[in-house]
Copies of this chain bind each other. A is one copy, B any other.
């Protein structure tokens, strides 16, 4: 979801942006107006996320999946070692990409034993001192599993924040690299944000594609080639909406209230269940299973009639999944809970 206020602004400006008589979809990315727009979006991102001065903020393309490959290319030589925590499907894809890029990827914690319904306890795993970095997935969107803490490690910490970025305050200074596809909380599909600490620039392999070489893009203000202009524009609008609605502290309060309400509804029912360990439950993606899976299709079709969409769980886990990103209002969650209660009364 994108906040309706943001969509309305984009709509109003779509054929005449900044009184230019042109759409932001048409202007040159090297023109004064767009350069300003991108600089404002970056400044808003830095303000909202509290990005320290010794970090670069890059606006790239290709999604987090592309960064799965370009993290090893930018940070490690082939045959170097990197550490990975495996908490589910997105971790696995990142690990597969690291192998593709020649790394000795050491899985320092693997939650297979719990069928990926847990995160490792803080301090329960050891990272080899020669690892170039430790990679983890703060939130697994498919399993609905989330870290309640930031791993401590002496090597640079690299985190795929695609599904939790800007959902609450974080201490950026604990990370070496934060990266995220924008499409959950920050903007439309097609924009990828990479936040990288200065001292990690300059180690890219010579064969790193120029437009995915963090240093080269940092030096070019992310404009080595044409950037995804509309995505950057929308990112700026969404960050301003976050600021106007109280910033990340208020966002965290709202998101936690939404998640708590939904978990409470699930836990207080024998009809619905969530398999994730209490200390690893996601604020953003809440999978739930119907006790009688033969009712799944009926649940989805009646939900759709009630205006509740995108509730089908990922094909790999089945059941349902509610994704309650920043732009989902508390009223939307209440509406879902009411529907779930009614459905249970009728079909339990």
Q: Which residues of A contact B (CB under 8 A)?
A: 1-2, 4, 7-8, 10-11, 14-15, 20-23, 25-26, 28-29, 31, 61-66, 68-70, 96-97, 100-102, 181, 183, 188-191, 206-207, 209-212, 224-231, 234, 307, 309-310
Cβ A65 vs Cβ B230 within 8 A: no
With A63-B61, A191-B190, A207-B102 as contacts: A4 and B10 at CB distance below 8 Å: no
Chain B's closest residue to A96 (CB) is: B210
Cβ B190 vs Cβ A66 within 8 A: no
Cβ A190 vs Cβ B62 within 8 A: no
A interface, over-half SS:
loop
Query: In whole angstroms, what is the CA distance A2 to B15 when docked?
Result: 10
Chain B residues lying within 8 Å of A31, measured Cβ to Cβ, are 309-310
Residue contacts A-B, CB under 8 angstroms, 11 given: A8-B15, A11-B14, A21-B307, A25-B188, A31-B310, A62-B66, A100-B206, A100-B210, A102-B207, A190-B227, A190-B230
Cβ B11 vs Cβ A15 within 8 A: yes
Chain B's closest residue to A208 (CB) is: B100
Give the distance to chain B from A45, nearest Cβ to Cβ, in Å: 18
Query: In whole angstroms, what is the CA distance A4 to B26 when docked?
Result: 11
Give the distance to chain B from A205, nearest Cβ to Cβ, in Å: 10
Cβ B62 vs Cβ A62 within 8 A: yes
With A63-B225, A100-B206 as contacts: A14 and B23 at CB distance below 8 Å: no
With A25-B234, A26-B2, A66-B209 as contacts: A189 and B226 at CB distance below 8 Å: yes
Chain B's closest residue to A21 (CB) is: B307
Chain B residues lying within 8 Å of A63, measured Cβ to Cβ, are 61, 211, 225-226
Cβ A207 vs Cβ B101 within 8 A: yes
Give the distance to chain B from A147, nearest Cβ to Cβ, in Å: 22
Chain B residues lying within 8 Å of A102, measured Cβ to Cβ, are 207
Query: In whole angstroms, what is the CA distance A101 to B212 when docked?
Result: 14
Chain B's closest residue to A224 (CB) is: B65
Cβ A188 vs Cβ B229 within 8 A: yes
With A7-B23, A189-B227 as contacts: A70 and B209 at CB distance below 8 Å: yes
Query: In whole angstroms, what is the CA distance A13 to B125 when docked?
Result: 50
Chain B residues lying within 8 Å of A21, measured Cβ to Cβ, are 307
Query: In whole angstroms, what is the CA distance A246 to B79 when docked?
Result: 56
Give the distance to chain B from A149, nearest Cβ to Cβ, in Å: 28
Query: In whole angstroms, what is the CA distance A33 to B10 when docked?
Result: 22
Chain B's closest residue to A62 (CB) is: B61
With A10-B14, A23-B2, A25-B2 as contacts: A228 and B225 at CB distance below 8 Å: no
The 10 residue pairs across chains A and B that have the minimum distance between CB atoms: A190-B228, A69-B209, A65-B225, A61-B61, A11-B14, A190-B190, A63-B225, A189-B229, A189-B226, A25-B188
Chain B's closest residue to A191 (CB) is: B190
Chain B residues lying within 8 Å of A100, measured Cβ to Cβ, are 206-207, 209-210
Chain B residues lying within 8 Å of A2, measured Cβ to Cβ, are 23, 25-26
Give the distance to chain B from A207, nearest Cβ to Cβ, in Å: 5
Give the distance to chain B from A112, nearest Cβ to Cβ, in Å: 22
Query: In whole angstroms, what is the CA distance A188 to B10 when docked?
Result: 15
Chain B residues lying within 8 Å of A181, measured Cβ to Cβ, are 225-226
